[in-house]
Amino acid sequence: MEFKAVQDAVIANNLSFFENSSPELIASIQHSKSFDTPLHIACRLGKADILKWMIDSNKTNLEACNREGKRPLHEAAHNSHDDCVCLLLGHKVQVDPFKSGDWTPLMLACTKSSLSTVQILLQAGADPCLKNKDGWNSFHIACREGHLTIVQCLMKFKPDIWNTKSKNHRSPLHTAALYGRTETVLYLVTECSYCTDEKDCCGVTPLMDALRAGHIDTAHVLIDLHKAATKIIVTSETI
């Protein structure tokens, strides 16, 4: 049996294909380059019925890794397929495995706008304070994306999660300002205790980031509410 035939059956949500196939044979299928298994494809596309068949067959490795180190839970969480996430977690898969770059399923979920996926993972014991290879935790990632409901959820779950820095000493406030996430910046400066004009390892402040990226509304929030010092911009233009 070729991988493409199995992949096409997953894409078409053709459950009868699997019901008429050998579970052992399906479990042995793997893409020669990506190392994806049928389980990865089902979780990536949100095919919960096919995922359930694979789980019930008791032949599928629920912790199989592809070339990127992604497990099925990474795929389901990254693509906001809550039913697949719940099926996997219900069968006791690891909730915080790292893929390449040290990304967990929760970190990947925080790149999307699905609050429910984040909540499911947190309730299952996912640790939002784990950091990837760049020193970013899930809160930092959510601030970059500007998903305020997820930022608020993480803060409610762990109130001091805002107090984090990347490996180059950038705070979530730096990142939210750089990406022009004005609503998130407003929340951060009112609900968190970031130091005004704190600098990263290159001497850059959140206000500098906002202005150099052209995010004027974000800059106004930092100046008016966070009392960021505008004079630093004049003395730091060459940084």
Distance CA 113, CA 229 (A): 33
162 pLDDT more than 70: yes
- What is the structure's pLDDT at 230? 76
Question: Which amino acid does the sequence have at 19?
Answer: E
Over residues 77-135, the pLDDT tens digits come to: 999 999 999 999 999 999 999 999 999 999 999 999 999 999 999 999 999 999 999 99
Return mean pLDDT, the chain: 94
Confidence of residue 228 (pLDDT cuts 50, 70, 90): confident
Confidence of residue 226 (pLDDT cuts 50, 70, 90): confident
Nearest to 71 by CA among 58, 85, 83, 82: 85
Residue with tokens 């095919």: 47
3-state secondary structure of 228: coil
Instruction: For the chain, give the percent of residues with pLDDT over 70.
Output: 96
Q: Is the pLDDT of residue 150 over 50?
A: yes
**pLDDT score of 236:** 45
Q: What pLDDT, on a 0 to 100 scale, did the predictor assign at position 86?
A: 98
Q: Cα–Cα distance between 85 and 209 in angstroms, integer? A: 36
CB 221 within 8 A of CB 194: no
Q: pTM to 2 decimals? A: 0.92
Distance CA 175, CA 110 (A): 14
Direct distance between the N- and C-terminal alpha carbons of the chain, in angstroms, rounded to an integer: 58
Flag whether pLDDT at 23 surpasses 80: yes
Question: What letter represents residue 100's amino acid?
Answer: S
Please give the full DSSP string across 71-120, using - where no structure is assigned: -HHHHHHHTT-HHHHHHHHHTT--SS---TTS--HHHHHTTSS-HHHHHH
- Evaluate whether 57 touches 27 at the Cβ level (below 8 Å): yes
